[in-house]
Structure 1
Amino acid sequence: MGIFSSLSKIFSGSPSSASTPAADPIEYNGFTILPTPQSDQGQYRVCAQITKGAGEDVKTHHFIRSDLVANKDECVELTIRKAKLTIDQMGDQIF
């Protein structure tokens, strides 16, 4: 499989339909991180849903990275670390 077909898999479809929650949501600095690793050729891609707010004011960011991890639990841990780093660096600009 070529690099372009791999890239098209990453960007096609909605992130929420391509992944399912693998862990409980994590609260971090007013944001909620929901790890949703995506299965990709026998490995797992770092992916999460980051939200902030409640009701009609909820904002959502679909967080997907190119990192692939062999173990699903390790992928969840890496996803949480990277999501926290992104929140620290970008804050509300993530939306």
Structure 2
Amino acid sequence: MASLFKDFWTRLTGGGASGREEPAADAVEYKGFRIRPAPYSAKGGYQTAGVIEKDFEAGMKEHRFVRAETHPSKDDAAAFAIAKGKQIIDEQGDRVFA
């Protein structure tokens, strides 16, 4: 599991085998949060991944997530990441940043 997060972080920060990642999809506003899908190429498909952001008085906070699901297209993975981000927000709210 730790290697999955390490792989996600490496890809998100521009590392990895290719050293080049496609830009993440535009952020979606939801209940005062922003969900930024960040799918990446993995296992012959695209991995579900994203970032949940929210602005606070002390500054912006973010929560990165990766899920086991892979999808045949980047658009499918991005749409699923948005759905998962909404689910996380509905279940945890601001606690996601704790």
Quote the residue 1:3 is aligned against: none
Q: Which residue of 2 aligns with 1:53?
A: 55
Whether 2:1 is the aligned partner of 1:11: answer no
Counterpart mapping for 1:22-41 below 5 A: 22-41=24-43
Whole-Å separation in 1 of the counterparts to 2:30 and 2:75: 19
Alpha-carbon contact 1:21-1:37 (below 8 Å) kept: no
Counterpart of 1:88 in structure 2 is: 90
* 1:91 Cα deviation from its structure 2 partner: 0.2
In structure 2, distance between residues paired with 1:20 and 1:93: 30
Deviation per CA, 1:13-66, whole angstroms, max 9, x where unpaired?
526326654311101001011101021022111101111006851111001111
The structure in which a higher percent of residues are helix is 1
Distance, in Å, in 2 between the alignment partners of 1:76 and 1:60 is 18
Partner AA of 1:10 in structure 2: L
User: RMSD over aligned Cα, in angstroms?
Assistant: 2.1
Shift of 1:8: 5.3
In structure 1, stretches of 5+ residues that fail to align are 1-6
* Matches of 2:40 and 2:85, distance apart in 1: 15
Q: Which amino acid aligns with 2:48?
A: V
> Which residue identity is paired with 1:30?
G
Q: TM-score, normalised by structure 1?
A: 0.80
The percentage of counterpart residues that share the same residue type is 35
| Number of residue pairs the alignment of both structures matches | 89
Aligned to 2:81: 79
Take 2:89 and 2:29, find their aligned partners in 1: how far apart are those partners? 11
